[in-house]
Amino acid sequence: MNIYGKRVNYIQYGEGDKDVVLLHGWGQNIEMMDFVGKELKNVRVTIFDLPGFGNSEELDHSMSVGEYADWLKQVLSILSINNPVLVGHSFGGRVAIKYASKYPTSKVVLLATPIIRRRHDPTIKEKFYKVIKSTPFGEYFRKRIGSPDYNNASPIMRETLVKAVNEDLLLDLIKIEVPTIFLAGTKDTAVSLSDTYYAISKMKNGAVIEQDGTHYAYIQNLYQTCATINEFVNPIILTIKKH
């Protein structure tokens, strides 16, 4: 498949009357969500390499989170997927929030997703790099000061990362009216648990489920993660017989 003239890599499997779309985190690919997809029951699963990751080509310009959501709408339309259940980890969760705030969505599952951007004064390192980044020494110090995610990215994807981390998604989140659950790692140093509870409390139909683990608690608790998603997507209806 091609979108905007760029290759899109995806896999699709399973059968059911509901579509579950899995969106991976920054620097990852289809494989990081396939663990979950293979355990989902009675649904059609679709997993993408987002633009600039895995085997999907990056665009010719940096993208905002909103542009990733618009890209997702394009590819889902081609695949005749309407009103999907979105499951996103970290950056993929950001895309899910933007998508669900703009387009018809059935349900949303957020895994270790940053929502609120906390402002902070630039560190000495950040101030230093800002001064020297355009000099001949800029590249040398970028490799030593920048985060692994930033350093391992292409120039276009570095701009994309900066756009993503600088965006606060709280106002987008509270636009979502469909059932939404957030699986939060209690030892996640990348996403504040208190910020997560605060953000979800502002929703009409949101809930937090804690998992013992880090930013990758969804994999560290894979059985619980998949059981939760299966129940969330297809609730078990108990029929009590009258005697």
Per-residue pLDDT of the chain (243 residues; tens, 9 = 90+): 888 889 999 999 999 999 999 999 999 999 999 999 999 999 999 999 999 999 999 998 999 999 999 999 999 999 999 999 999 999 999 999 999 999 999 999 999 999 998 755 555 444 444 555 556 544 544 444 445 655 666 788 889 888 988 999 999 999 999 999 999 999 999 999 999 999 999 999 999 999 999 999 999 999 999 999 999 999 864 444 444
What is the pLDDT at residue 155? 85
What is the pLDDT at residue 151? 65
Judge contact between 159 and 55, C-beta under 8 A: no
The H-assigned helical ranges of the chain are 31-37, 65-78, 91-102, 124-132, 138-145, 148-151, 155-165, 170-173, 193-201, 217-220, 222-233
Domains and CATH numbers, the chain: 2-117+168-233 (3.40.50.1820), 118-166 (no CATH)
Judge contact between 3 and 48, C-beta under 8 A: no
Distance CA 158, CA 102 (A): 25
Mention every residue, 6+ apart, whose C-beta is less than 8 A from residue 198: 116
In our burial notation (b when 16+ CB lie closer than 10 A, e otherwise), range 150-185 reads: beebeebbbebbebbbeeebeebbbebebbbbbbbb
What is the pLDDT at residue 153? 62
Q: Which of 63, 81, 55 is nearest to 1 (CA)?
A: 55
In our burial notation (b when 16+ CB lie closer than 10 A, e otherwise), range 68-82 reads: bbebbeebbeebebe
What is the pLDDT at residue 199? 96
DSSP string for residues in 126-180: HHHHHHHTTSTTHHHHHHHHS-HHHHTS-HHHHHHHHHHHT---HHHHTT--S-E
Give the pairing type, strands 10-13 and 44-48.
antiparallel
What is the pLDDT at residue 154? 74
What is the pLDDT at residue 186? 97
Judge contact between 195 and 91, C-beta under 8 A: no
What is the pLDDT at residue 149? 53
